[in-house]
């Protein structure tokens, strides 16, 4: 028996993870693809006149098994990979791309959709169904449904190759992360807080060493760069970190980047667009590359000015330490941490004991309860990895979702943090409730203690999870986070604001040993330092976003690394700050095209999230239920049922300007 193909009768209809074997996936995909192809062929060949039910609703149902199998496999491939799963992922990429191309190039199928679209005025569709019809037509057109002959064949070949390249890019980054470590001597632990030392010892044991080690896991390398007084070790660590994907080995991504950009340009031109950026941004809130560049450049000048002023202060500290040469990227975090301690009396090592993972989970659940009435009950289930844990989410006595959290870094997990689903919410055939997954890469500890930035990441991903859990639509096409890319970060970035609410920290930021609340003086210093080092954070983000845009605005560059260098030079990139994501490991943009031409989306959404939280402040209560109900009604539960700007205006009554973003980052006075 193949557990992926049987009926899942366990709790909440979850996948029977304990019964699934890697050998099950390939045959399950074969069966699922056959079923999906047969269903699509039957829709296209239906002799009856097209109706919404026999065409659009039928398409929503066509890939039910495929969606279920893929939901399990791709979550495991990202969070708990192994050689077998990586090999199958490479094999599946062109197969799934071919299936998608077959659908969108099916002329008979598109003719049915087009007939419905042209006759939509007489269909008496509700608003949600009308939106789904619009999105299906848009998706087919943007995938090349009107291309003929050789052009159609070429588009299918391009998409298959892009799928292969994106898969390989991500696997290469993971290979470089797995393949590097630096053994540390006991004297190399000088100056490191206990939590960094403990993490380094754990990393050494996991690598089979007799002593501590440094790895490229962000939860280890960033605090090492913050606290280690050994400049040469910081340099070696930083250079290894930024070299991922460009080490001249089998995992080097530079040729993949060049080919990807060339194929994306060809794809856009086949569809009649001047550039890939024009193509990609058309359905987003920004609409055009010019609008994106306008936002990014508006923020760049004040961010750079703040960063340069901060760099001068940090370089003076470096000189006071007797160091020669300019401030370097491997120096910034170390001297910034020293400055933060001196100017804000805020020591991250003293702060972390109050931010244990378990306490911060309680905090995010409490906020969700106070805002939306959600209740979380821990479940004892067999999941895909022992690190993962699950909760049932209920409201007013009714089941809402299953929420799974997987929080610890390990070699089988790709870096970063993300939210995904094993099952999406929809009501097409009964009330199907979602199974939502949050993944982070925190350093394991006893207990696991978070930095404030890591706690913010926890809240961020849970904001995405709320968008999935509170979804209340009929069709999977518009469920949950199926919204414009530059709108999808609004719920996640908005939820971060509740971590800054004093009463949340007063209640939940408690010492992991004593249970005592964070001292008021420390709490006030933490909140007062909220915009500390935002010049650095904004510059490293904006440089990545502007390089992404430059890659896709014009002709594909033969040498993408030369374009990266040119853009940074034209920006006057401060010497001591690196891009947040250098091109060869820029997974947002090249491990698939989800954020290609779209890394700006975080900042576009930030324009809205600052303004959205102001709605609660204007109501006089960060937990104002009337405001929370509007947020849920128009944004969190609505999915992609209307255009993103319409959804935001329905919630807020207007679109915001850039000032709330500048104020939130402490850059308003610099912008003048």
Q: Would residue 461 show up in a list of annotated catalytic residues for this protein?
A: yes
Q: Are 200 and 192 in contact (CB under 8 A)?
A: yes
Of 331, 374, 286, nearest to 600 (Cα)?
286
Rounded-to-integer distance, Cα 586 and Cα 547, Å: 11
CA distances from 68 to 88, 160, 404 (A): 17, 22, 17
Q: How far apart are CA 77 and CA 68, in angstroms?
A: 15
Alpha-carbon distance of 549 to 278, in angstroms, equals 10
Is the C-alpha dihedral spanning 127, 128, 131, 132 positive or negative?
A: negative
d(CA 516, CA 183): 37
Q: Are 473 and 425 in contact (CB under 8 A)?
A: yes
Phi-psi region of 45 (alpha: psi -120 to 50; beta: other; left: phi over 0): alpha
**Quick one: DSSP state of residue 4?**
T
Which of 460, 435, 492, 436 lies closest to 360, judged by CA? 460
- Coil, strand or helix at 404: strand
Task: Give the CA radius of gyration of the chain.
Answer: 25
Please state, in angstroms and as integers, the Cα–Cα distance from residue 658 to each residue in 272, 571, 622, 662, following that order: 32, 20, 22, 7
The whole-angstrom distance between residue 516's C-alpha and the CA centroid of its chain comes to 34
Pairing of strands 398-408, 435-442: parallel
Report the distance separating Cα 117 and Cα 108, nearest Å. 14
Among the listed residues 89, 284, 461, 606, the single catalytic one is 461
Q: Is 208 exposed, middle or buried (CB count within 10 Å of its CB: 0-12, 13-18, 19+)?
A: exposed
In angstroms, the CA 173 to CA 647 distance is 37
24: enclosing H helix or E strand: helix 22-45
Q: How far is CA 246 from CA 110, 199, 411, in A?
A: 43, 27, 20
What does the DSSP assignment read for 492-536?
Answer: HHHHHGGGG-HHHHHHH-B-TTT-PBPPHHHHHHHHHTTTTTHHH
Strands in 435-442's sheet, in edge-to-edge order, are: 375-379, 389-395, 398-408, 435-442, 418-423
> According to the 3-state scheme, what is the secondary structure of 339-402?
HHHHHHCCCHHHHHHHCEHHHHHHHHHHHHHHHHCCEEEEECCCCCCCCCEEEEEEECCEEEEE
Output DSSP code: residue 426: B
Give catalytic residues, as residue numbers: 461
């Amino acid at each position: 028996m193949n557990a992926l193909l049987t009926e899942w009768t366990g709790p909440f209809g979850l996948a029977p993870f304990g019964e699934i074997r890697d050998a099950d996936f390939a045959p399950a995909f074969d069966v699922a693809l056959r079923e999906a192809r047969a269903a699509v062929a039957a829709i296209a060949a239906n002799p009856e006149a097209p109706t919404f039910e026999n065409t659009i609703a039928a398409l929503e149902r066509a890939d039910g098994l495929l969606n279920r199998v893929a939901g399990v496999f791709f979550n495991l491939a990202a969070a708990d990979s192994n050689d077998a799963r990586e090999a199958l992922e490479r094999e599946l990429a062109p197969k799934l791309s071919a299936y998608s191309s077959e659908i969108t190039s099916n002329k008979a199928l598109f003719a049915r959709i087009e007939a419905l679209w042209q006759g939509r005025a007489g269909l008496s569709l509700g608003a949600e169904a009308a939106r789904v019809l619009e999105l299906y037509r848009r998706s087919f057109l943007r995938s090349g449904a009107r291309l003929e002959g050789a052009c159609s064949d070429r588009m299918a070949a391009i998409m298959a190759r892009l799928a292969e390249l994106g898969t390989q890019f991500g696997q290469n980054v993971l290979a470089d992360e797995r393949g590097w470590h630096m053994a540390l001597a006991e004297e190399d632990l000088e100056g490191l807080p206990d939590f960094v030392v403990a993490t380094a010892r754990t990393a050494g044991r996991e690598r089979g060493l007799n002593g501590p080690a440094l790895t490229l896991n962000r939860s280890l390398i960033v605090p090492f760069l913050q606290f280690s007084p050994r400049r040469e070790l910081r340099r070696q660590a930083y250079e290894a970190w930024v070299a991922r994907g460009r080490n001249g080995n089998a995992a080097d991504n530079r040729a993949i980047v060049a080919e990807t950009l060339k194929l994306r340009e060809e794809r856009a031109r086949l569809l009649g667009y001047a550039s890939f950026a024009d193509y990609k941004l058309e359905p987003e809130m920004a609409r055009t590359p010019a609008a994106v560049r306008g936002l990014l450049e508006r923020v760049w000048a004040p961010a750079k000015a703040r960063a340069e002023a901060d760099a001068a202060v940090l370089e003076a500290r470096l000189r006071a330490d007797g160091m020669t040469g300019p401030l370097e990227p491997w120096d910034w975090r170390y001297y910034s941490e020293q400055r933060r301690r001196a100017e804000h009396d805020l020591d991250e090592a003293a702060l972390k004991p109050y931010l244990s993972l378990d306490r911060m989970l309680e905090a995010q659940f409490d906020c969700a309860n106070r805002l939306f009435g959600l209740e979380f009950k821990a479940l004892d289930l067999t999941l895909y990895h022992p690190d993962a844990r699950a909760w049932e989410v209920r409201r007013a006595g009714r089941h809402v979702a299953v929420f799974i959290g997987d929080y610890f870094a390990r070699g089988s997990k790709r870096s970063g943090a993300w939210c995904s689903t094993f099952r999406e919410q929809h009501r097409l055939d009964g009330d199907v409730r979602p199974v939502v997954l949050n993944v982070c890469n925190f350093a394991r500890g006893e207990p696991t203690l978070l930095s404030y930035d890591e706690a913010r990441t926890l809240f961020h991903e849970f904001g995405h999870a709320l968008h999935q859990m509170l979804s209340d639509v009929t069709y999977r096409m518009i469920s949950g986070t199926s919204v414009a890319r530059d709108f999808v970060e609004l719920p996640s970035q908005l939820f971060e604001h509740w971590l800054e609410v004093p009463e949340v920290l007063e209640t939940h930021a408690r010492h992991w040993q004593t249970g005592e609340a964070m001292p008021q003086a420390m709490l006030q210093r933490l909140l007062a330092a909220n915009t500390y080092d935002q010049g650095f954070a904004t510059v490293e983000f904006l440089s990545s976003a502007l390089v992404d845009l430059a890659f896709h605005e014009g002709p594909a560059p033969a040498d993408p690394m030369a374009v990266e260098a040119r853009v940074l030079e034209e920006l006057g990139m401060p010497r001591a700050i690196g891009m947040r994501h250098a091109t060869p490991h820029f997974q947002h943009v090249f491990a698939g095209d989800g954020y290609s031409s779209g890394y700006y989306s975080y900042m576009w959404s930030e324009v809205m999230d600052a303004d959205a939280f102001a709605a609660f402040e204007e109501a006089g209560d960060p937990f104002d239920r009337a405001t929370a109900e509007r947020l849920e009604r128009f944004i969190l539960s609505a999915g992609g049922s209307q255009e993103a700007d319409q959804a935001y205006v329905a919630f807020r009554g207007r679109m915001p300007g850039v000032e709330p973003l500048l104020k939130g980052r402490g850059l308003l006075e610099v912008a003048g």
